[in-house]
Amino acid sequence: MGARAETIAPTAEPAVQTSGSGTMVCTPSSSTLGFSLHKDRGWWHLCDSRTIGGKRRHKVLESYGRERPTLFAPIISSGVDRDAIPRLPSESFDLAYLDPPYGTTSGEWDRAPDWSWLGAQVARILKPTGQAVLHGTAPMIYMAAAAFSASGLEHRFDLQRIKTAANARLRSTAWVSDFQPIRAHEWILVFKRADSPTTDLTFNITAMHRQTGRRSKAPRKGAPSHQEAEGWSGDYKSKLRYGWGWPIDVIFKEPAHGVDLYAQKPDDLTAYLVMLLTNPGDSVLDPYAGSGTTVRVSWRLGRRATGIEAQPDRFVRLSSEFATSKGATA
């Protein structure tokens, strides 16, 4: 069966408006200028078919399966967190994706937010079944976690991202490492509303599968005594498939390459977390949009993305990107 490409038709012109409070909001159009949904042998794909350097390329950005996906136009707002977040409706987001300044350097761009204030705002805007992801490193992550826990949120679980290429080009000198081991990992904490039962939350366990090798064996024969009491026989064959293992709390991801922001996260790491904690059609907020990784990934995965960016130049860049090439509705 032949391939069929279907360009997503525009339905509205891009608009940059100023709200009554002075915040600029970009409501993207659905024009894609070379991005299209493509069906090949019964499977749907999102493809980049732009002409670059006089050559037309065809790059698969995302694959969805046999059902035609629905993509929702992202919304980009300009404003600092203290002005923009309080204006967001209460209980309106399924996921708050937080990668704020850590406050670990003296840089002007690295001013950390008030963690107690941010935690209270996140607890307010999350739906009862919503969750929050927080990136960070010590000691900032400890202060933020304590403040969040006292502001209506509850720690759910944490992950450690191992930066497999951290400082690969630098020698481990006292000047480089600040007289300590070079930091090659980063914390990722997941929170929920304190009043929400864990059983009601989204956790797509398939998003965390890792390959273990076809000859991997179970760590023990039979079940531990406390699990035998609960009626489990220890039959690992019914729990695992060859080549796949139970998810672990360590993620090995290389840092983003060829990026314009010092702390930008790689797309596949963000996709991993968005798929894990949300379902298609869910709403995702990134109040520190930066380069737009979370918004871009959420759009491709069929989530309703909202991004807030404080830097005017980055806001203009994101507005242009998502209004002309990635703000599409299928």
Nearest to 274 by CA among 255, 252, 301: 301
Q: In 3-state terms, what secondary structure has residue 228? A: helix
Nearest to 208 by CA among 170, 241, 245, 243: 245
Residue 190 CA, distance from chain mean position: 12
Nearest to 305 by CA among 285, 276, 323: 285
Q: What is the identity of the amino acid at 80?
A: V
pLDDT, tens digit only, all 330 positions of the chain: 444 444 333 333 333 334 444 444 433 333 344 577 888 888 888 887 665 566 666 678 888 888 888 888 899 888 888 899 999 999 999 999 999 988 777 777 778 899 999 999 999 999 999 999 999 988 899 999 999 999 999 999 999 988 765 444 444 555 555 677 777 788 999 999 999 999 999 999 877 665 555 444 444 455 555 555 555 444 544 444 444 456 788 887 665 544 444 456 788 889 989 999 999 999 999 999 888 899 989 999 999 999 998 888 888 888 877 765 444 433
Residue ranges covered by each domain of the chain: 1-70, 80-209+247-309, 211-246
The CB-side HSE value for 153 (13 A sphere, CA atoms) comes to: 33
Give the pLDDT of residue 222: 53
Can you read off the two tokens belonging to residue 85?
A: 């977040």
**What is the tens place of the pLDDT at every residue in 271-286?**
989 999 999 999 999 9
d(CA 188, CA 137): 9
Nearest to 85 by CA among 305, 318, 295, 309: 309
Residue 293 in contact with residue 265, Cβ under 8 Å?
Answer: yes
Give the pLDDT of residue 106: 73
Looking at domain 80-209+247-309, its CATH architecture is 3-Layer(aba) Sandwich (3.40)
Residue 127 in contact with residue 257, Cβ under 8 Å?
Answer: no
Give the pLDDT of residue 176: 53
DSSP 82-115: HHHGGGSPTT-EEEEEE------SS-TT-----H
pTM of the complete model: 0.75
Residue 103 in contact with residue 117, Cβ under 8 Å?
Answer: no
Give the pLDDT of residue 280: 93
DSSP 66-77: SSPP-----EEE
**β-strand 93-98 against 126-136: which pairing, if any?**
parallel
Residue 69 in contact with residue 330, Cβ under 8 Å?
Answer: yes
d(CA 292, CA 278): 18
